Amino acid sequence: MSSAWECLHSATLELVRSTPIKQRLVSAYRRYLTSLPEDALPMEVRESFRQVMGSLRGVQPLRGEDAVVASVRKMSNQEADDCAALIVEIFGLTCRAHASTRTNPVIQLHSVDRTPAEYEASILIANN
């Protein structure tokens, strides 16, 4: 299973292709977003993700189509653009959350065997 970051990254790449926006939304949903569990996302983007998924599955389909195709078909071009923009924004926030949780190694700059007094600068050096 791909991580949330990978799914959103792939969905975002799908959204920047040259095909019509509604086709890109359906493709991003089917290929990447449908397999993304909400609980894999950072807390701060879950409500936005619910909103996207609701707008991509909210319309009752006609015979021979699924809810995603029906929902996207009913969207105006502006609504489709807004939905795609929200997916990209969720990806950006997920990247930011991912970067903030990464731990950076601690680099020790001095020996632990020395006392703090050994690191103090003299008054003459400190005033220059």
Is residue 25 within 8 A of residue 34, CB to CB? The reply is no
Residue 1 confidence (pLDDT): 38
Tell me the CA distances in angstroms from 96 to 39, 63, 111, one per residue in order: 17, 42, 34
DSSP per-residue string spanning the chain: ---HHHHHHHHHHHHTSSS-HHHHHHHHIIIIITT--GGGS-HHHHHHHHHHHHHHH-SPPPTT--HHHHHHHHS-HHHHHHHHHHHHHHHHHHHHHHHHHSPPPP---S-TTS-GGGGPPPHHHHH-
Using 50, 70 and 90 to split pLDDT, how confident is the model at 13? very high
Q: How confident is the model at residue 3 (pLDDT cuts 50, 70, 90)?
A: confident
Domain carrying residue 22? 4-127
Give the total number of structural domains in the chain.
Answer: 1
Q: Tell me the pLDDT tens digit for each residue of 85-122.
A: 999 999 999 988 877 766 555 555 555 566 666 656 55
Q: Which two tokens stand for residue 26?
A: 């359906």
User: Would the pTM count as exceeding 0.85?
Assistant: no
Confidence grade of residue 79 (pLDDT, cut at 50, 70, 90)? very high
Averaged pLDDT for residues 32-45: 92
